[in-house]
Amino acid sequence: MSEALDHGLWPWLALILFGFLPSEVWRMLSVFLARGIDESSPWLAWVRAVATALLAGVVGKLLLSPNGALATLPLWGRLGPLAVGMIAFFAIRRSLFAAILAGEAAIIAAGYWTN
């Protein structure tokens, strides 16, 4: 299989037919769904809340059922650094940079702690 993937048009076709098109269809559909909605529509508040909740759900799942190197840490080693990052965020003028720096430092520490 690996050999077939290395040559010719097949990997490009596979990416477009089974990756790009099935994914892109939703974005294009949304262009039409967005047509009748203007910026002040009350629907927009609901759609935005759904999008925000979805994104929060993505993050929750990344931490609860992680893959790769994150999966080698225990649950406290993933949720603890998130808490540390958010404490830094609120403590240091709601700074995104502070949150990332503190959270990352905490997860590296957790990584070496459990090594």
Partner 1 sequence: MISAAPYDPLTAEAAEDLGGRTRPRWFVEGARQALSGPMFVVAVSLLSVGGLARDAGFSVEIAVASTILLWAGPAQVLFFGAVAAKTSWPAIAVTISLSSVRFVPMVVSLLPMLRTKRTGLPTLMLAAHCIAVTVWAEGVRRIPLVPRDGRLAFFFGFSFICFLGTSISTAIGYVLIGELPRPLAACLLFMTPIYFVATLTRNAKRPIDRWALVLGLAMAPLTETFAPRGLDLMALGLVAGTGAWLIQRTLDARVSA
Give the footprint of partner 1 on residues 19-38 (CB under 8 A): 19-31, 33-34, 37-38
Q: What is the DSSP letter of 91?
A: H
Among 9, 45, 76, 80, binds partner 1 (CB under 8 A): 45
Q: How many CA atoms lie within 13 A of 110 on its CB side?
A: 22
Count residues near partner 1 (CB under 8 A).
Answer: 78
As a three-state string, the secondary structure of 50-68 is HHHHHHHHHHHHHHHCCCH
Q: Which is closer to partner 1, CB of 45 or CB of 76?
A: 45
Among 74, 76, 92, 100, binds partner 1 (CB under 8 A): 100
Indicate whether 76 belongs to the interface with partner 1 (CB under 8 A). no
Indicate whether 66 belongs to the interface with partner 1 (CB under 8 A). yes
Q: What is the DSSP letter of 73?
A: S
- For 77-94, b where at least 16 C-beta lie within 10 A, e where not — what string? bbebbeebbeebbeeeee
Indicate whether 93 belongs to the interface with partner 1 (CB under 8 A). no
Indicate whether 59 belongs to the interface with partner 1 (CB under 8 A). yes
